[in-house]
Amino acid sequence: MTDKNPPRNTNANYRGWQSDVIVDLIKRYDFEYITLNPGASFRGLHDSLINYGNNDPPMLLCQHEEIAVQIAHGYAKASGKPMAVILHNLVGMLHATMAIYYAYIDRVPIFIMGATGPMDEGKRRPHIDWTHTALVQGNAIRDYIKWDYQPYALAGVPESFARAYSVMTTEPQGPIYMCYDAGLQEAPLTQDVELPPAYAVPTPSRMMPDPNALRSIADKLLKADNPVFIAEYMGRREGGFDSLVKLADTVGAGVWDINHSLNFPNQHPLCISLDKGALRDVDLVCGLDVKDFEKATRELESTTREVVPVVKADADWVEIGFGEIGMSKWAMDYCRMQPCSVRALGDTALGVPVLTDMLRERIAADSNLQAKVRERTAKVTKRHNETWAKWQEEARKDWDASPITVPRLACEVWDVIKDEDWVLTANTLKTRVRKIWNFDKPYRHPGVELGTSTQIGMSIGVALAHKKHKRIVVDLQPDGDLMFDAGALWVAAKYEIPMLIVMNNNRAYFNDWEHQIRMARLRGTDEKKAHIGMDLYGPEPDFAKLAHSMGVWGEGPIEKPEDIRPALLRALEVVKSGKPALVDTVVAHR
C-alpha cells in the first residue's frame, strides 16, 4: 500500500466533515476511479470527494448502477486492480444486484460503498429517507459478496475499510460492501481520526499449496500416458499465463483453457481448447484454479439436459486451487463437485512454478521420461495442428452469405486489428474468435462474459484499463445485451474511452430463441413460432443512430460482407484518435 497522504483543501471556508475520512481512505488505498449513479444518500461523501478530495480519483457518472458495477468488474479483470463504486442507499443497491452477483461468481474484487439513513430517526426526511433505508442494508446482497459492514460511528470507518480491502483482495477475490450512514457522512469532523498505518500491507501473502501434495501430482503427471491441464482462473494472477506455458512444455501435456481468464495461448501447439475429442483418451486431468470441471469435460444434449462424460471413467483427477474456500451458502455457482485423488489447496501462482521445477528436475535425470515427454508433445501437437486447419476451413463456409456469418465477421475484424496491439473485451462470438485470432499475450483477453446484460459495461471497464497503454480494445457487442444498458455508450463518449464496438447483431435474443426451437422439435409444436417473445425486429433498433445520440461515432447497419472491412477501417481511425466508435453489422442467427 502506498502512503498517499491527501492534500487538505485550501479553501478557507471549507470545514472538516466526517465524510472526509472516507476520502482519505480512498486515496490511501490508491483507487484510480470511482463509478456511480447520483444519489442524495451519499451527498456528504460526494461533496467531500469534490471539495476536499479535488475529484481525485475521478468520478465517472453512469446511467445505471448496474453499469457502474460492470465497469468496475471489467476494469478489475483487465488491470488486476479493484475500482471503487458508490451506490445510492437501498434502491441503488437493489438496481446493482445482478452485476454484484456476476462479480462475485467471477471472483472479481470491487470496493462497493453504499449509504443509508440517516439511522437517527429524528433526522430522516419524511417518506423518502424511510423507504430508502433498510435494517441492515447489507442483508440484501450478503449471500453474494465476500463481506459487508455498516459502521455505527466514525471510529469504525478506518478499521472496517482496511479489513474490507484485505478481504476483497485475498484469493479467491470478490466484491465487498461498505454502508455509510448519511447522518455520519454529514456530521462535522470534530477530532482527528487515525488511518491504518502506512506500513500495514493491504492484502495477506498468498497461500502456498502443500509441497507433499504437489509431489504427488508430479508423480501422477510423469506416470500418466495422456495427461491434460484444465485452467479457469489461473491466468488472472500475474505470471499465470507464462507459468502455465512452462508447465505444459515441461511435461508435454495438452491444455484446455476454460476462458474465465486468458490462461494459455490458443495457437500454442499444446492447446486443445474447444476440441473435446482430445479429451477422450486422457488418463489424468489436472485442474488449475478450476471451479467448474463439468462444462469442459462433458457433452450436453441441451434439449434433454443429458450430460455425458467425455473423459473415460477410469481417468484420475487432481487439482491445485481454492476448493471450497469462499463457497456460497446460497447460490449454486460452485457447480458440480469433481472427486479428485489429490487436492492441493492454495494459489496456482505459487504452486505451479514449484510443480514445474519438481518435474524438470526429475525429467532431466531420466532419459525414459524425456522420451515420453517428446512423444506426448508430438501427439498433442499433431492433433492441435489438424484441428486448427479444420477450423480455418470451416470459417470460409458460406463466406459471401448475407446476413453475414459469424465466422466471417470474426475473420474480418481479425484482419483489421491483427497488426495492432489489441485487446478483446468480453464476447468471443460463440467461441469463434478463439478458433481464428491469435491470443498470444496474457492481456489480450480478460475472460469471457457471464451472460446478457453484462457485456457493454464490462467492456468499457476493460477499455478504461487499457486506455493508458493506447491499445486497440475491441468489443464484439451482442445486440440484446446493448439493449439492456444502451446508456453505457454515453459513459464511453463522455470520458473518451476509446474502443471499437462491433455489433454482433442477429436482431434477436437468439440463445433463448434456440431453446424454443429445441422445445418445438421435442414436443412437435410449430417451430416457426419460436421467435415470438425473442426477436428484435419490427422495429429493428438502429444502433448507429443510437451511438450518434450518445456522442459515439457510428456506422451501419451493414448487411453485405464486402462492406464490413471499409467500415471497420474508418472506425479504427476514430478509435486511434482516442474516442469510441461503433460499427453495426447484421449477422445470421447461426
Q: Which residues of 3-24 are buried (b: 16+ CB within 10 A; e: fewer)?
A: eeebeebeeeeeebbbbbbbbb
Which of 239, 199, 205, 288 lies closest to 80, judged by CA? 239
Secondary-structure class of domain 19-186 per CATH: alpha beta
Instruction: Give yes or no for residue 235 having a pLDDT over 50.
Output: yes
* Crossing angle between the packed helical segments 367-395 and 240-251, to the nearest 10 degrees: 120
pLDDT of 13 reads: 57
CA angle 403, 406, 410 (to 5 degrees): 125
Cell of 369: 521420461
- Using a pLDDT cut of 90, give the percent of the chain over it: 83
Q: Tell me: domain 211-386, CATH 3.20.20.70, correct? A: no
Worst-scoring range by mean pLDDT, 10-24, 102-116, 366-380, 436-450?
10-24
Which residues lie across from 180 on neighbouring strands? 115
pLDDT digits (tens, 9 = 90+) for 425-474: 999 999 999 999 999 999 999 999 998 888 999 999 999 999 999 999 99
Say how far apart CA 287 and CA 338 lie, in whole Å.
Answer: 10
Domain ranges of the chain: 19-186, 211-386, 396-586
**73-82, 190-199, 426-435, range with the lowest pLDDT:** 190-199
396-586 shares the fold of 19-186 = yes
Give percent helix, percent strand, percent coil of the chain, each to the nearest 5: 45, 15, 40
Residue 544, SS3? helix
Q: Is the peptide bond before 82 cis (omega within 30 degrees of 0)?
A: no
Instruction: Return the pLDDT at 513.
Output: 80
Averaged pLDDT for residues 551-555: 98
Averaged confidence pLDDT in the chain: 94
Whether the per-residue pLDDT at 4 is higher than 60: the answer is no
Buried b / exposed e over 86-119, threshold 16 CB at 10 Å, is: bbbbbebbbbbbbbbbbbbbbbbbbbbbbbbbbb
- The pLDDT, as a whole number, for residue 131 is 87
Residues present in the chain in total: 590
**pLDDT the model gives residue 14:** 66
Other CB atoms within 10 Å distance of the CB of residue 142? 14
pLDDT at 328 over 90: no
pLDDT of residue 10: 46
pLDDT in tens, 492-535: 999 999 999 999 988 888 888 888 888 888 899 998 898 898 88
Cβ atoms within 10 Å, residue 391: 16
For the chain, percent of residues with pLDDT exceeding 70: 97
Rounded Cα–Cα distance for residues 182 and 43 (Å): 8
- C-alpha cell, 357: 521445477
Rounded distance, CA 589 to CA 44, Å? 50
Return the C-alpha torsion angle 121, 127, 128, 133, nearest 10. 50
Burial label for 188, CB within 10 Å (0-12, 13-18, 19+), is: exposed
Cell of 256: 484446455
Architecture field, domain 396-586 = 3-Layer(aba) Sandwich (3.40)
Confidence of residue 11 (pLDDT cuts 50, 70, 90): low
73, pLDDT greater than 60: yes
Q: Assess contact for 291 and 261: CB atoms under 8 A.
A: no
pLDDT at 12 over 70: no
